[in-house]
Amino acid sequence: MGRRLKFNIFRYNPQDPDSVPHTDTFYLAETESMTLFIALTDIREEQDSSLQFDFCCRAGICGACAMMINGRPNLACKTLTKDLPDEITLMPLPIFKLIGDLSVDTGTWFREMNEKVESWVHTSKSFDPSADEERMDDAVAEEIYELERCIECGCCVAACGTANMRRDFVGAVAMNRIARFMLDPRDQRTEAEYFEIIGTDEGIFGCMGLLGCEDVCPKHLPLQDQLGILRRKMGWSAVKELFRFGK
Amino acid sequence: MAVDTTTYVPAPSRTSAYLDWLQMLTGAGLILFMWSHMILVASVIPTPRLMNAIAHFLEATYMAQVGGPIIACTFLLHFVLAARKVPFRVEQQSTIWKLSRQLRHTDTYLWLIQAVTAMVILIMGCIHMWTVLTDLPITAAKSAARIQGGFWLVFYLILLPMVELHVGIGFYRIAVKWGFARRKDRKSFKKLETYLTAIFVAIGLMALVRFLTLSV
Ligand code: HEM
Ligand code: SF4
Ligand code: SF4
Ligand code: FES
């Protein structure tokens, strides 16, 4: 313990016409089990009250605090300073709209993504609130839950070379979302309908397999596996169409 | 910046899927070709007579005369397909380089290597194919004479690692993209890729040394 940490923090307030993007340096004495959340709060309270950053749950559940930590996207609230070198550089996530300093608006992006992949169960059955809940196989429920754990933090999008180069690319998080609904027996969408959403160069065929997403996802979602499964499914779906004459 | 200013909806199309298949299949075909190619070249190591025999077989069966141009076409088709993914715009170039440096992420770097080696292979591969295919028959003596000239030695010393890097990474990438390598297999696949690349570069170098020391 007893390290003196040097923080290089990106500063820019798009609301303020006089603000220019730059880096501010802060020094802080490291304390026992200090997280970046604690460090940033300390800096804001003791050194610069104008510093902007987002936190909500402080427990790696809400996804609000994602930022570029020494170049890699991660959740600030679950990153311990003891795992980092003496010099820590913090930048906002790229791609998302900058609100100010380290704070970005992931909400708009994710809302649009969810609308694009129609992230809800499509069913023609009407909901009967008094009936028993429909039963689901345990194994299927587990599988769905595994993909449902995504907290929409945006790390996978920020780390994706394709998403950084091409703003129309939907990102691993969207593919994971689609994969989740494909597993769900309640969703009545057909393979062709899924293909229409994701079987494009903005979707699964745009993914170049760089696996930045897989390697940074703080919730360790099986993104690599889901991308592989999806590419194969969508690929076969297109090939099957090729051999279906005069449908 | 993308602003949706119209209610126009593009017709659903399967083109992306077919192009992705073709990119993968041409890539995989070229990998198989490069492995067969290595058998031909490496056959000079035990004895030039073996290489001559294989080359003679390839010509007697017209595999060289017909297969050569087919490979050249596959090569060009693969280039056109894969080039859809290469960042040709300056802004995209600087984005991907900056991101790779920031992330210090091996797989992102590997992709950059693939894109860079691709450009070198495009030019040098064409020159190589032209030289060999316009000067049939292939014989160990002619190859040795070329390499001992010096220019072609340097040429191959550059082309060899470029091709093997591209092939090795391409092999790994196909496995990952199409779900042959799952999360649990990724490490071992990467190791396999490294070994494959190293072994093929080693065999290639051995063949070059053999050509250099062959008396013509
Ligand atoms: C004209 C020269 C070439 C160019 C410009 C080129 C370009 C590329 C590029 C940019 C990629 C990455 C595409 C992506 O990530 O989506 C790629 C992938 C690949 N290349 Fe090449 N390449 C060339 C020649 C070759 C040769 C000679 C081979 C094999 C001997 C080869 C095998 C592969 C393989 C297996 C892949 C992976 C395919 C995939 O990811 O779907 N390429 N190529
Ligand atoms: S998939 Fe992972 S990295 Fe991506 S938004 Fe969800 S939790 Fe975050
Ligand atoms: S595998 Fe790579 S290209 Fe595909 S979504 Fe993940 S980071 Fe992006
Ligand atoms: S504050 Fe909720 S994930 Fe970090």
pLDDT in tens, B178-202: 988 788 888 888 888 889 889 989 9
How many domains are contained in chain A? Answer: 2
Do A161 and B20 lie within an 8 Å CB cutoff? Answer: no
Tell whether A24 is covered by a domain: yes
Tell whether A112 is covered by a domain: no
- The percentage of residues in chain B with a pLDDT greater than 90, rounded to a whole number, is 9
Residues of chain A short of pLDDT 70, as ranges, are 1, 245-247
Between B32 and B66, the higher pLDDT residue = B32
Q: Name the token pair of B66.
A: 């017909």
pLDDT at residue number A138:
93
| Section B71-84 average pLDDT | 89
Neighbours of A111 (CB within 10 A): 12
Question: Tens digits of per-residue pLDDT, B86-130?
Answer: 888 888 888 888 888 888 887 888 888 888 899 899 988 888 888
Last residue of a domain, one of A104, A132, A166: A104
The answer, for B80 touching chain A at a CB cutoff of 8 Å, is no
Do B177 and A209 lie within an 8 Å CB cutoff? Answer: yes
Ligand 4 proximity of A67 Cβ (cutoff 6 Å): no
Positions of E strands within A139-231: none
Segments making up each domain of chain B, as ranges: 15-213
pLDDT at residue number B215:
66
Ligand 3 proximity of A208 Cβ (cutoff 6 Å): yes
Last residue of a domain, one of A104, A139, A162: A104
- Among all residues of chain A, which has the CA nearest to that of B11? A196
Element (H, E) at B113: helix B106-133
How many CA atoms, within 13 angstroms, populate the side-chain half-sphere of residue B74?
19
Q: Name the token pair of B130.
A: 């032209």
Whether pLDDT at B8 is above 90: no
Tell whether A215 is covered by a domain: yes
Residue among B30, B214, B48 nearest B138 (CA): B48
Task: Tell me the residue type at A181.
Answer: F
The answer, for A93 touching chain B at a CB cutoff of 8 Å, is no
Do A209 and B183 lie within an 8 Å CB cutoff? Answer: no
Residue A148 and residue A237 in one domain: yes
Q: Please, are residues B102 and A212 in contact by the beta-carbon 8 Å criterion? A: no
Whether pLDDT at B135 is above 80: no
Whether pLDDT at B61 is above 90: no
Tell whether A169 is covered by a domain: yes
Conformational region of residue B104, where left means phi above 0, alpha means psi within -120 to 50, and beta covers everything else: left
Question: Is B15-213 a domain of CATH 3.90.1170.50?
Answer: no
The answer, for B62 touching chain A at a CB cutoff of 8 Å, is no
Last residue of a domain, one of A104, A127, A158: A104
Mean of the per-residue pLDDT values of chain B: 84
Q: Which letter does DSSP use for residue A120 in this model?
A: S
pLDDT at residue number B57:
84
CA of A246 to the centre of ligand 2 (A): 42
pLDDT at residue number A174:
93
The interface pTM score, or ipTM, of the predicted complex is 0.79
Give the closest ligand to the alpha carbon of residue B34. 1
What dihedral angle (degrees, nearest 10) is formed by the CA atoms of B198, B199, B200, B202? 80
Tell whether A10 is covered by a domain: yes
